[in-house]
Each structure stands twice: as structure tokens, then as C-alpha cells.
Amino acid sequence: MSIWSIIRKEVRYNLGNFVIGLVCIAMALGIVVGAITLLSAHDIKTERLVEAKERETREAMTKLEDDYRLMMRDMGHNVLVLHEEQSIEDLRMRGAPDTYMPEEYVFELSTGGIENLNHLFPILQERATWPEMEREVIFSGTMGQVPNFEKPQFLNDEGRYRNPIRETLQEGAIEVGFEIARVEDLSVGDTVTLFDEEFTIHRVHSRKGNEDDVTVWASLDKVQEWFDREGQINGILALECVCDFESFGMVEEEVRQILADTQVLEFGTILRARFEARARADEMHQSAVQQEQAYREQLGAQRAGLVRIMVPVVLLGAAVWIFFLILNNVKERQGEIAIMRTVGVGQGKIMGIFLVKAALMGVAGALIGYLAGMIGGAAWEGIPIWQAEFGRLISPALAGLVLIGAPVLAIIAGWIPAMKAAQVDPAVILREE
Amino acid sequence: MTQTAALHVQEVSKYYDRNGRHITAMENVSVEVKAGTFMVIRGPSGSGKSTLLLAAGGLLRPDTGKVMVGGEDLYALSPDRRTVFRGKNIGFVFQQFYLVPYLTVLENVKMPGIALEIQGLNERAAELLGRFQLSERLEHFPSELSIGERQRVALARALIAKPGVLLADEPTGNLDVDNEKIIVDCLWEYAQNGGAVLMATHGLRTDGFDDVVELEGGRLKP
Ligand SMILES: Nc1ncnc2c1ncn2[C@@H]1O[C@H](COP(=O)(O)OP(=O)(O)OP(=O)(O)O)[C@@H](O)[C@H]1O
Ligand SMILES: [Mg+2]
């Protein structure tokens, strides 16, 4: 006959008393573990949401890039390569460059291994009067796109662009700017005379609000012929400069390594707009992510605050409950204690009986409470037990703390009642009849 | 069981002060119970019988006087040593049996074994219960026994450690005549085997006992 079997048998006999204590501890620890699990589940969930948001943002950014690429195509050229001696002032005054380069330059550039410019167009621009219309316009001769042989992904089997950004003008076709078309009442398909030659209006450009509105586009050789500039150009347009605004200097450097006597003019406003729009979009999405994160953090902090108050209250409640439960148990078993003391059982052993019982309640309650709290807390945050993420919630530290802490708490709560048990005076109990 | 194991209560007094009232539970009481004898204390309710037995058993420290058991001054021992000493040398039986409800008859008798090293505990418990005609009831719980049977279980428990002194506080107070006889016979048997019995009673026929002392108002009647 050992103390253990006495405890075991008493527990079985007074099962209700034990179960109430156990349930009380299980409930308290269930709440505590549940709350803590809820908090870490909250963090995991936050991580998950923020990741999703970031992915969304990345996708949106990619889509935006694409949109911009198309927008750039409609907006015009990004970069203009000019002869080194071309005065920018003159260019602005005249609306067209007046320093010339050999046409070969464009080929040198396209085969020179340039990284940052995708679509190259040789141009010859002249400001002159349209004799038949008696109107001053800008003639812009282009030859269509010159392949950048560094970018084979854009080329088809014949070494031509797969999706040319600008179609080569057909023989006998011209394009006109919005303002010219408006004043002269021209529309697509009309026939006009230009330098004694008949041309069909292939396209009327939409209103741009710049020189384009007063520009006539014709094939390069035509413009060269009209202005006696055979084999010459005065600019190379590069569409879809892949650089960003900040590293623009690098583009010029790269171009000048191939064509030493050139300069590069940026279409700053467009480039900057693109850069800034992109930055803003980025910012917007960033702030969306941050907002989400901030909201989750605030919610988390609120919950953590609640847990900080709740945990001690719940634990204290459980301790008080255990205290009275054991105290009551001691009262009910006074006769038993008295007779044990009489037959030689020491005070230490009597105290031990009640403390071990309290500790057993603690361990059993902790096990049940821990499991219930884990499952409940995680489920509350939408992480059911069968999800892999549930594994991340299992904290050996918390489990250890609970499984050790609960019996310790129960022992502390049961200490005074157990002491009262040890102090039961057999003389007082046994004298009664 | 040693022939020298006997009880000597020497000029013991116990007083209580309750609500300003001075109560004399026992005053200058001396009794001596030799090994192998059966002494009875008689007295009306409130005369101090229980007080004397508790003091004699080391459960109630008297205000004056000494209690010697087997040559040991009980109240000179530390509480812990007195507890162990009591377990080994003094057996108790009460009017209420104080059986542990969740232990079987056999377990109740063996219960002192959680505190003391008792040689051949199982056999001795079974033997005692056999002697008290309880062999068939070893696995029963106290609630399943008759009142007389319960008191016999309590007596077996009191005797399990082979104490030199047995203190019985109205052990037959709840029993009918037949059961009373069984218990008294058992106590006699114990005394005849060298034990010292001190039994308190207020109604029992007292003829045939070795010694009968009378208490009244906490004092021995001359
Ligand atoms: N703890 C106590 N406080 C106050 N008075 C007490 C206490 N214990 C005993 N007494 C008093 O001491 C006296 C003797 O009591 P005791 O219990 O020894 O009597 P008793 O002879 O055993 O009576 P009964 O036959 O009814 O059992 C009684 O008057 C009782 O009230
Ligand atoms: Mg009494």
C-alpha cells in the first residue's frame, strides 16, 4: 500500500471533484493556449496576406509595365540620337535638326551591340514650306525600323521585326499631323500634291499638342530627294528605351561608344512621366501592402493587449477555483486525515497527498487544455488542424511551459489547503462522536 | 510485543479556556496499564474519558504531567518522531470507525503500511481479518459491511503494527450486544497476548476487567 495507490483510489472515488478541477484547469489553459495560438496564427495569417498582396502588386506592376510599353508606342519616341554638333537651341527654334550624319550610323548602332535601345528609326527632318499648300510644315522622312541585331527575340526568319512598332510607309503614301489635316480638311484616302507628286493620305495622326501636329511623314528617300540629302539623316529615333529616367546617362555613354560624334537627347517629359507613373504605381501598391500590414499589426496588438490582461485573470481564476476545490476536499476528508495521522502518517505525507492530487489535475488539465487551445485558437484564425501551417503553430516551448506550468500553478493553488490538511488535529476530529 | 510495553499516565491535566470560561477537561489524572492487562475507564459524558485517551495516545499534549509509553516520554519527542512512535506502539479504536471509504477491508487494515515498515503486512492483515471472521469480506468496501463488521475492521487496523498499547474510546458505543461481546472478546484476546488495553465506556458492565477507574468532572474518583 503506497501513497500513490491512496491518491489513485481517492481520485477514482471522488471522481467528480477531480474532474471539476481538471476541467477548470483545462478551460483556463485552453483559453491561454488558445489566445497565444490565436496570436501566432494571426502572425502567420498576416504573413500570408502580405505575401499575397505583394504577389498581386508584382503582377500589377508587370501588367503596368506592359501597359506603358504600349502607351510609349502611341506616345512616340523616347530617345533622339543627334550629331554632336547639333545645337539644341537651333533644334528647338527650327523644330528640326540641321546637322547631318551619314545614314550608315543607324546600321552601326544597330549592329554595334547596343543594349538599351530597342527600336531604331533613321530620320531626316526638314522644316520647309509645302509649296502646293503654301504652308510651313516639318517633313519627316523615315525608313521604317532598323533591326537591332542584339535583340534576336524581336526578329523573324528574314531578320525583320516581328511586330514592327511603325509600319514602313508604302510607296506614294504619306501621313499628316492633326493640325495640317484639320486646316486643310484632309482625311485618310485623300490625294494631295507634294513637290509635284501625288500622294495618298495613309494616316492622320491624332492631336499630340507638339510638332507632330504640323508634321508630314514620308519615306526617307523621298525626303532626302526633296532636300538634296541623299545618304544623309539628321537624327536616329529610338523607341522604347529600356532605360529608366535615372540611368539615362548610361544610354548616352553606350551610344557614344559606337558613334563617337553624337549626342543623345531624351524626351524627358515622357521618360519622366513614365518613371514617375511607375514610381507612383509602385508606391500605391506598396502603401496598400503597408496598410494591410498596419491593420493586421494593429489588430494583433489589440489582441495581444487583451491576452495580456486575460491570461493572468484566467490563471488567477483557475488558481482560486483549485484552492477552494482542494480546501473542500480537505474538509471532507478530515476523518480520513485524522486516522492516518493516528496510525503514524506524517504531516509531510498528508500534504503530499493533496499536492500530488493538485499536480495530477494540473497535468491532465494541461494536456486537454493545450490540445483544445491549440486546435481552437488556430481554427479561430482559419487554420484548421489538417493544414500544414498548423505545424508551424506548435511551439515546444509553449507546450513545455504549459505542461510544467499547469501542475506548478495547481500545486501553488493547493499549497494552503494541503497545509491545512497537514495541520488537521486528530485530537479535535477524533474526540467528536 | 514486549512485556515492558505499558502505559503510564502521570498526573496529567488539561484545561480549556473558551469565551472566558475555564474548563477543566482533566485534572491530575494518573493511570498505569501493565502489559497483558485490560483497564476500563468509566464516567458520564463530559467527564474527560476521551481527553485522557487522546493524551495517553500522544495526540493531545496535556498542560501538566507526563505520558510514558514503553518507557518513552511521549511529549518529550518531536512531533514527527511522536507520530512514528505512535504508529508503531499505540493502537486506537473509536466509536466512529474512521474507515477510509475508498479502500477495501483488506486495504483499510493495511493502511498504516503507508507510514510504517510492517513485516509481512499482507499475511498479518489477512490473519487478523480471519481471526475477526472477515475472511470472506477482504475485497468489500466499508459501506458494504455491517456496523459490527466495520468496528472489527477498525480493530484489525489498530492491531496491524502489533502495538504494545491499545486505546479504545467507547468502541462498542454503536454496537448491539452481540457485536459488543465480539469486540470486547477480541480486546481481551489482545490483552492476554501481552497487550495493554485502556478502554473508555460509560455504560458497559465492568465486571471481570482487571482494573476499573472512574472519572468525574475530569478527576479520578477515589
Ligand atoms: N477542545 C475543547 N475545547 C473546549 N472544551 C473541551 C475541548 N475538548 C474537550 N472539552 C471539554 O472537556 C470535557 C471533557 O470532554 P471529553 O470529550 O473528554 O469527555 P468524555 O468523557 O469523552 O465525554 P463523552 O462520554 O461524551 O465522550 C468536556 O466538558 C468537554 O466539553
Ligand atoms: Mg468521549
Element (H, E) at A315: helix A268-332
Work out the angle at residue A324's Cα, subtended by the Cα atoms of residues A319 and A327, and round it to the nearest 5 degrees: 120
- Do A319 and A192 share a structural domain? no
Give A362-419 pLDDT, tens digit per residue: 999 999 999 999 999 888 888 888 888 888 888 888 899 899 999 999 999 999 999 9
Query: Chain A window 323-382: which residues touch B at a Cβ cutoff of 8 Å?
Result: 335-336, 338-347, 349
- Which among A2, A12, A345 has CB closest to B102? A12
Which own/partner pairs from A182-191 qualify as long-range (CB within 8 Å, at least 24 positions apart)?
Answer: A183/A135, A184/A133, A184/A135
Residue with cell 503596368: A64
**Alpha helices per DSSP H over A76-176:** 88-94, 104-111
Closest atom of ligand 1 relative to the B51 alpha carbon? 18
Q: B19 CB less than 6 Å from ligand 1?
A: no
Asked if A245 and A110 sit in the same domain, the reply is yes
B161 vs A contacts (CB less than 8 Å): 343-344
Measure Cα distances from A87 to A31, A82, A214 in Å: 79, 9, 22
Task: List the Cα angle A223/A229/A231 in 5-degree steps.
Answer: 100
B74-105 burial, b at 16+ Cβ within 10 Å, e below that, comes to: bbebeeeebbbbbbbbbbbbbbbbbbbebbbb
Expressed in angstroms and rounded, the spacing between residue A432 Cα and the centre of ligand 1 is 9
Read off the pLDDT of residues A128-182 as tens digits, 9 standing for 90 and up.
999 988 889 999 888 766 665 555 655 666 655 555 555 567 778 899 999 999 9
Choose the closest CB to A346 out of B115, B121, B157.
Answer: B115
Q: Is A198 on the interface with B (CB under 8 A)?
A: no
Last residue of a domain, one of A210, A233, A267: A267
Q: Is there a domain that residue A238 lies in?
A: yes
d(CA A267, CA A239): 10
At A249-281, the pLDDT tens digits run 777 788 888 888 888 877 645 555 556 666 766
Could you tell me the CA-to-CA distances from B217 to B17, B24, B206 in Å, in that order?
16, 7, 20
pLDDT of A107? 81
Cα A119 to Cα A366: distance, rounded to the nearest angstrom: 71
| First-to-final CA distance of chain A | 29
Q: Which residues of A touch B102 (CB under 8 A)?
A: 9-10, 12-14
| Whether pLDDT at B3 is above 50 | no
How many whole angstroms separate alpha carbon A341 and alpha carbon A344? 5
Provide the pLDDT for residue A167. Answer: 59
Q: How far is the alpha carbon of B169 from chain A, nearest alpha carbon, in Å?
A: 9
CB A174 within 8 A of CB A201: yes
- Residue B60: CA count within 13 A, CB half-sphere: 24
Entry pTM: 0.68
Asked whether residue A286 falls in the same domain as residue A259, the answer is: no
Q: Do B87 and A345 touch (CB under 8 A)?
A: yes
Strand order in the sheet with B211-216: B90-94, B165-169, B196-201, B38-42, B211-216, B219-220
In total, the C-beta contacts within 8 angstroms joining chain A to chain B are 91
Mean pLDDT in residue range A197-212? 86
pLDDT score for A95:
81
Residue B215 to residue B26: CA distance in whole angstroms: 9
> Across the interface, do B87 and A343 touch by the CB < 8 Å criterion?
yes
Ligand 2 centroid–CA B215 distance in Å is 12
Among B51, B54, B60, name the best residue to mutate to test ligand 1's pocket (greatest count of ligand atoms within 8 A of Cβ): B51
Put simply, the answer to whether A431 touches B157 (Cβ < 8 Å) is no
Contacts of A133 (CB under 8 A, 6+ apart): A184, A192
Nearest CA in chain A to B169: A431
A431·B54 Cβ contact <8 A: yes
Q: State if residue B48 touches ligand 1 by the CB under 6 angstroms criterion.
A: yes
Tell me, yes or no, whether A65 lies in a domain.
no
| A295 and A254 in a common domain | no
Q: Does A120 touch chain B (CB under 8 A)?
A: no
pLDDT number for residue A263: 87
Q: Which atom of ligand 1 is nearest to the CA of B52?
A: 18
Is the distance from the beta carbon of residue A431 to the nearest atom of ligand 1 less than 6 Å?
yes
Domain that holds residue A307: 3-59+281-432
- Report the complex ipTM: 0.93
Residue A332 lies in a domain: yes
Are residue A213 and residue A341 in the same domain, yes or no? no
Calculate what percentage of chain B has a pLDDT beyond 90: 80
Domain end residue (candidates: A267, A295, A320) = A267
Of all ligands present, the nearest one to the C-alpha of B47 is 1
| pLDDT tens readout for residues B123-162 | 999 999 999 999 999 999 999 999 999 999 999 999 999 9
Poorest-confidence range of A8-12, A206-210, A415-419, B75-79? A206-210
The model's pLDDT over A37-96, given as tens digits with 9 standing for 90+, comes to 888 888 888 888 888 888 887 787 777 767 766 665 555 446 788 998 888 888 888 888
State whether A27 and A121 are in the same domain: no
A241 in the same domain as A301: no
Identify which of A320, A353, A360, A336 has the alpha carbon closest to the alpha carbon of residue A18: A360
Domain co-membership, A146 together with A209: yes
In-domain check, residue A275: no
Q: Convert the pLDDT of each residue in B177-218 to its tens digit.
A: 888 889 999 999 999 999 999 999 877 666 777 788 999 999
Reference A132, options A190, A176, A193; nearest CA is A193
Instruction: Identify the pLDDT of residue A76.
Output: 43
Q: Which of B50, B102, B115 sits opposite A343 (nearest CB)?
A: B115
Beta bridge partners of B88: none
- For residues A152 and A211, membership in a common domain is answered with yes
Instruction: Looking at the CA of B59, name the nearest ligand.
Output: 1
Q: Which of B59, B111, B170 sits opposite A1 (nearest CB)?
A: B111
Q: Which of B69, B80, B83 has the highest number of chain A CBs within 10 A, making it the mutation to test binding with A?
A: B83
User: Do A390 and A348 fall within a single domain?
Assistant: yes
Contact assignment for A340 to B115 by CB distance below 8 Å: yes
Is B57 near ligand 1, meaning CB less than 6 Å away? no
Q: Taking 70 as the threshold, does the pLDDT of residue A28 lie above it?
A: yes
Whole-number pLDDT of residue A70 = 62
A3, A343, A426 ranked by CB distance to B112: nearest: A343
Residue of B60, B94, B115 with shortest CB distance to A344: B115
Question: With 70 as the cut, is the pLDDT of residue A349 above it?
Answer: yes
Q: Is the CB of B14 under 6 A from ligand 1?
A: no
**Dihedrals phi, psi of A121, to nearest 5 degrees:** -130, 120
Question: In terms of domains, do A200 and A334 share one?
Answer: no
- Domain assignment present for A119: yes
Place of cell 519616341: A77
Among chain A residues, the shortest Cα distance to B50 is held by A431
Identify the DSSP state of A284. Answer: H
CA distance B21 to B183: 38
Decide: B219 in ligand 1 pocket, CB within 6 A.
Answer: no
B157·A2 Cβ contact <8 A: no
Asked if B138 and B115 touch (Cβ cutoff 8 Å), the reply is no
The rounded percent of chain A whose pLDDT value lies above 90 is 35
What total number of domains does chain A contain?
Answer: 2
Q: Which of A267, A289, A306 is the last residue of a domain?
A: A267
Do A180 and A37 belong to one domain?
no
Residue whose cell numbers read 484547469: A25
pLDDT at residue A77, as a whole number:
44
**Which has the closest alpha carbon to B152: B182, B173, B124?**
B182
Q: Which of A357, A271, A369 is nearest to A311 (CA)?
A: A369
B49 CA distance to ligand 1 middle (Å): 8
Query: Following CA atoms A266, A269, A275, A280 in sequence, which dihedral angle do they give, to the nearest 10 degrees?
Result: 170
| Cβ-contact A130, A106 below 8 angstroms | no
